[in-house]
Structure 1
Amino acid sequence: MNKCFNPGVVLMLLLFSITSCSQSKKEIIPQTYTAHKISETITIDGKADEAVWAKAKWTNDFIDIEGDKTPKYQTRVKMLWDENYYYILADIKEPHVWGDITERDAVIFHNNDFEVFIDPDGDTHNYYELEINALNTVWDLFVNKPYREINVALNDWNYTGLKSAVSVDGTLNNPDDIDKGWTLEIAIPFKDLRTAYYQDNVPRDQFWRVNFSRVNWEHDITDKVYSRKKGADGKFLHEYNWVWSPIGVINMHEPEKWGYVYFSSKGVDHTEEFTVSNDEKIKWHMYTLYRAQRAYKGKHKRFAPQIADLNISDLVIDNQNIKVTMQNHDIGYNLYVKSPFSNKTLIVREDGKFISK
């Protein structure tokens, strides 16, 4: 993975093997999770010994990013929040806990790592990525568009108030024993995700699009030092990508497929399940059309002039036929739906940005 900087010191980095028109082999239904509000203080020490953590539910175990394989090792997450922070607890099973990257904003996924992706408004643009290894080394960046579009990734953007800590159940960087794994505790300040200085962006009884990824490598041990394993050709073996909400392709940067985290104002003693709205289901369908348009352009060197050319079945939700219209213009197209459920106009532009009005 190569770093390339322009004069504006903007990192343009391809994080995974991304094709210009990658498409899922099967339908992917995003995961959901209800994060409850707390009033207790959480100390970020990697130990998670507060009573509220014990009450919070675990997510489903992570699955392979393509959604069709069970990972070798278990990964799961809990979430909570208060008026200042979004709290994340990751339980990462691993018999060999190791890491050697200590420089902030280095390419952390060259070690085994845990990653957090957040798109607060769900428009698939202007989202945040965080990667942390077992040494608690951080890489945080802001991405203006997914890599399928011409984009910039701001490597010099930082979570200024981030808190994180790691606890190892075993011994770090010691190949002489078998570890149980590592626990990562994170507190992400809501204020670091503001788009205006005085914005109140705390998502009370709202949802964010979120996903989590774990990158795991085969390893070698030489003179009791861990390193990524290489194949007979001298190249590093491919990494494993295990995620909370599967993508269907090896590419975390399809935000429309990320999971839903609902920030409930009720405490952890309540049971409350988040239900994805019909408008969100319409949005999934619109992005199926968007990806089909990208594939069409890859084949024909132009966008399809009408939706019928994309060979995508019509959508029916609750006995409602969902009509998608397409407006062509000089640089591309817009997809439109007038939702029969909310009466909102839902739009996906040719650059993939979602708009609801």
Structure 2
Amino acid sequence: FEVNCLNCTWSLLLNKPYAESGSEDSKRIDPENGYDMEPGLISAVKVYPDEINNPSVKNSHWTVEVAMPMQKLMERNPDAKQPDDGVLWRINFSRVQWSFGVDEDNKYVKKACCQSCRIPGAEAEDNWVWSKQGEVAMHLPERWGILQFSNEMPSTEVKLKYYEEWPVRCAAMGLFYAMKEYQSSESLYTDDLKALAAYSMKPFTICNEAATSIMLTDDGYEARVGLGQFTATINHERYLVVERDIDSALS
């Protein structure tokens, strides 16, 4: 979901991350049937001072408030936990600041820009995020922050809940990233954990304490990683599912 200070909004749905050849489902691609949060989406912005795109006016900041329709957020994932007291979701926010100049007509002109600017303030874009991603790429859900829902009123101190799935998710992503590096180097996948060890790197590393198995498939692989009370299944497309072990759930 994107919004600017003119309150122009845009939403999209990815079938998988761009890095795994994901494709966009949006009104930009399919104006008639593409994914959209409207109707149902409500948004409003406020700019200070209340004048936009005038180089003679120095704006200090702007604010945005958004109400997203839950049925739209969950329609492709009906098994996801509904928001409730203590429920945890993954989420992140990003702001992109483009580099501008002012032309002879006293109008803003966007400078030549590139994606993933290495030098903040250069003639490209600066990126700020709510939860550190580690690289200029927002479509990496394993790196998003943790959102905890609460029934308490805003500004009320709430006890943070431990994210029980976090260790096994990290272990699964450690295997995924090592396998991605291995495939890039060797042009194939492997079911040999010892061979993957040399490709393990931060921020997600292979967990030696996890019970791990890898099954090679015609188009990639599927791996199972067990740690604590949970088992994670992940494949070459970054598709990750975590389940609590039956014995743990019954105890």
TM-score (ref. length: structure 1): 0.56
Residues 215 and 242 of structure 1 are in contact (CA less than 8 Å); yes or no, is this contact kept in structure 2? yes
Kept in 2, the 8 Å contact 1:136–1:164? The answer is yes
Match of 2:42 among 158, 163, 168: 163
Indicate the larger mover: 209-218 or 331-340: 331-340
Residue equivalent to 1:38: none
Deviation of the 1:335 alpha carbon: 2.0
1:190, 1:201 within 8 Å by CA — same for their partners in 2? no
Checking the alignment, whether the CA contact within 8 Å between 2:174 and 2:206 is kept in structure 1 is no
Q: Secondary structure at the match of 2:149?
A: strand
Going from structure 1 to structure 2, the CA distance change for 1:175 and 1:155 (only over 3 Å counts) comes to same
Deviation of 1:297 after TM superposition, in Å, equals 0.8
Report the Cα offset of residue 247 of structure 1: 1.2
SS in structure 1 at match of 2:195: helix
The aligned residue for residue 219 of structure 1 is: 100
Amino acid at match of 1:280: W
Q: Does the C-alpha gap of structure 1 residues 333 and 151 become closer, same or farther in structure 2, counting only changes over 3 Å?
A: same
**Structure 1 residue aligned with 2:64:** 184
Q: 1:356 is matched with which residue? A: 242
What is the Cα-based RMSD across aligned positions, in Å? 2.5
Q: Aligned partners of 1:158, 1:302: CA distance in 2, in Å?
A: 37
Equivalent position SS for 2:180: helix
Three-state SS of the structure 1 residue aligned to 2:179 is: helix
Which structure is richer in relative contact order (CA contacts within 8 A, separation 6 or more)?
A: 1
Deviations 1:193-251 (A, max 9, x none): 2327x9996411311111101000111111121121238xxxx9321111111111111
Percent identity, aligned pairs only?
29
Counterpart residue identity of residue 216, structure 1: Q
Structure 2 residue runs without a partner (length 5+): 28-34, 114-121, 244-251
> Quick check: which one's helix share is greater?
2
Residue of structure 2 aligned with 1:254, choices 140, 149, 158: 140
**In 1, Cα distance between equivalents of 2:81 and 2:226:** 27
Picking from 290, 294, 299, the partner of 2:185 is 299
Which whole-Å CA distance do the structure 2 matches of 1:293 and 1:315 have between them?
13
Secondary structure in structure 2 of the residue aligned to 1:158? coil
Q: How many residues of Structure 1 are paired with residues of Structure 2 in the alignment?
A: 218
- The answer to whether the aligner puts 1:173 opposite 2:53 as a matched pair is yes
Aligned position for 1:347: 233
SS at match of 1:214: strand
Q: Supply the distance in 2 between the matched residues of 1:262 and 1:189 (Cα, whole angstroms).
A: 18
Does the CA contact (< 8 Å) of 1:293 and 1:310 recur in 2?
yes
In structure 1, what is the Cα distance between the partners aligned to 2:174 and 2:79?
33
Q: Name the CA distance, whole Å, in 1 between partners of 2:227 and 2:182.
A: 26
Q: Please give the TM-score of this superposition, normalised by the length of structure 2.
A: 0.78
SS in 1 for 2:165: helix
Aligned residue runs from structure 1 range 302-321, under 5 A: 302-311=188-197, 312=200, 315=207, 321=209
What is residue 118 of structure 2 aligned with on the other side? none
Q: Does the 8 A contact of 2:94 with 2:130 survive in 1?
A: yes
**Secondary structure at 1:264 match in 2:** coil
Distance in 1, Cα, partners of 2:217 & 2:71: 38
Aligned to 1:77: none
CA distance, structure 2, for counterparts of residue 275 and residue 294 of structure 1: 32
Instruction: Label 1:199 to 1:281 Cα distance change in 2 as closer, same or farther (>3 A).
Output: closer
